[in-house]
Amino acid sequence: MSELLARYAFAVWDILLDASPYVLLGFFVAGLLKAYLPEDLVARHLGKGRFLPVLKASLFGVPLPLCSCGVIPAAAGLRQQGASRGATTSFLISTPETGVDSIAVSYALLDPVMAVVRPVASFFTAIIAGVAVNSLPEEESPQAASSAAAATAAAHQGCSCGPHAGTEHTHGIMPAPVVLPAAEHAASAGCGCGSCGHDGPAPRTMREKFVSGMRFGFGELVADIGKWLMVGILLAAVITTLIPDTFFASYLGDGLMSMLVMLVVGMPLYVCATASTPVAAAMAVKGLSPGAALVFLLAGPATNAATFTVVARLMGRKVAAVYLASIAVCSIALGLAVNWLYAYLGLSITSWVGAAQEESHGVIAIASAVVLLGLVAYRTLPGIIRRGHNAHGHSHGCSCGH
């Protein structure tokens, strides 16, 4: 038992060393995007037209560091500002499926090919879904716009983040949701989870913008996805320690069956793109094909009950059905294409990931791991303590009139 725990602890530390420098780099780039990308840039380009707004929405969504629930208020705000149904759908797909942080982690934990394929696949899926949605007849009811805030609030049930002032959320445990007015939804179009509030005047100078962006990247973004990244690393270490080598290749193969299984596993999960990466990497080491890994990386972040609720409430059930079908079909098709690509190039994601894990780590990796652990602890532990304190206080009853 002690030997098993030691192997598990080593696996956790090894994955953390592999990922930390690239995670920090992703947070830094995300901060730069937050600082210097105008918040209304996306909304200005997603209006009328069948294809061009969809193309722009897919392109804008790829680098943005929004998770699967942080994108919900952003998409609701875009829709209220006049974005087409197809553009909104494309934004809802390309944004959570990838981002600068998850691209960096994909390079670290998977391989360079997957780091390129993943955002390209997300971009392609978003375009297909957006064009398909725009081809549907308009069925939006007059109440759809006014229901955007209610849909967003409902979708945040089970979400760990979002624009809820003064509340702390955990997956599966939610206080009563706070509905934002339309103006705040509009402002959320360029912000990440928990970053939709605006305290004080907007930064004006380049230095103020940089400082504000770094506070977002290493503050709010860490608070949003940091703990779930750690959960992903812990789960990846379980797979690495307990599952035999070639397990997935032996039992699922490298064809369509493994992709269908990953689709079924990934679709209901509430997981962000960054946190899903170490899990996919751990399964790749155990024989999961690169195509099946891609299916998991695409389906997991983009599909869950919250996003489906938002799509159905904002744009109708037919759009929601097309949304899910597009992700499922494109994920499988792209997975088959990626398997062909790896075979054509003579590459093996299993050997690449395994070789990366066997490399020794230097001072930079160790320092990055320590910094990342410190940031996550600093940004998440106070909230956990507050939740425990509030739960303890409420259990004794509260007579204050708030």
Residue 392 falls within a domain, yes or no?
Answer: no
Q: Is position 28 within any domain?
A: yes
What integer pLDDT is reported at residue 186 of this predicted model? Answer: 37
C-alpha separations of 72 from 88, 201, 296, 320, 382 in Å = 10, 25, 21, 14, 25
Task: Identify whether 216 is part of a domain.
Answer: yes
* Assigned domain for 108 exists: yes
Q: Does residue 73 contact residue 185 with C-beta atoms inside 8 Å?
A: yes
Residues 192/33, Cβ–Cβ less than 8 Å: no
Q: How far, rounded to the nearest angstrom, does the alpha carbon of residue 182 sit from its chain's CA centroid?
A: 24
Q: Per residue in 8-26, pLDDT tens? A: 898 889 888 888 888 888 8
> Does the pLDDT at position 86 exceed 80?
yes
Residue located via tokens 């060393």: 17
In a domain, 387, yes or no: no
> With 70 as the cut, is the pLDDT of residue 377 above it?
yes
Residue 113 or 308, more confident: 113
CB 294 within 8 A of CB 114: yes
Q: What is d(CA 54, CA 8) in angstroms, rounded to the nearest whole number?
A: 44
What DSSP designation does 220 have? I
Q: Report the C-alpha gap between 148 and 171 in whole angstroms.
A: 22
Residue 142: predicted pLDDT: 41
Q: Work out the pLDDT band at 374, boundaries 50, 70, 90.
A: very high
Look at residue 135 and tell me if it is in a domain: yes
DSSP 170: B
Whether residue 100 lies inside any domain: the answer is yes
Which position has the higher pLDDT, 169 or 361? 361
pLDDT tens by residue, 169-200: 333 322 333 333 333 333 343 444 444 444 55
Residue 57 scores a pLDDT above 70? yes
Name the nearest CA neighbour of 310 among 196, 158, 165: 158
- What digits encode the pLDDT tens for the residues 253-277? 778 899 999 999 888 877 788 888 8
Q: How many domains does the chain have?
A: 1
Residue 133 structure tokens: 């949605």
The burial of 210, by beta-carbon neighbours within 10 Å (0-12 exposed, 13-18 middle, 19 or more buried), is given as middle
The answer to whether residues 95 and 61 touch, using CB atoms and an 8 Å cutoff, is yes
401 falls within a domain: no
What residue type is assigned to position 361 of the chain?
H
The Cβ-side half-sphere exposure at 227, using a 13 Å CA radius, reads 17
Query: CB-side exposure of 67: number of CA atoms within 13 Å?
Result: 29
Domain holding 228, by residue range, is 2-378
CB 261 within 8 A of CB 304: no
pLDDT score recorded for residue 187? 38
Residue pair 152/387 in contact (Cβ under 8 Å)? The answer is no
- pLDDT band (50, 70, 90) for residue 360: low
pLDDT level of residue 150 (50, 70, 90 thresholds): low
R_g (Cα) of the chain, nearest Å: 21
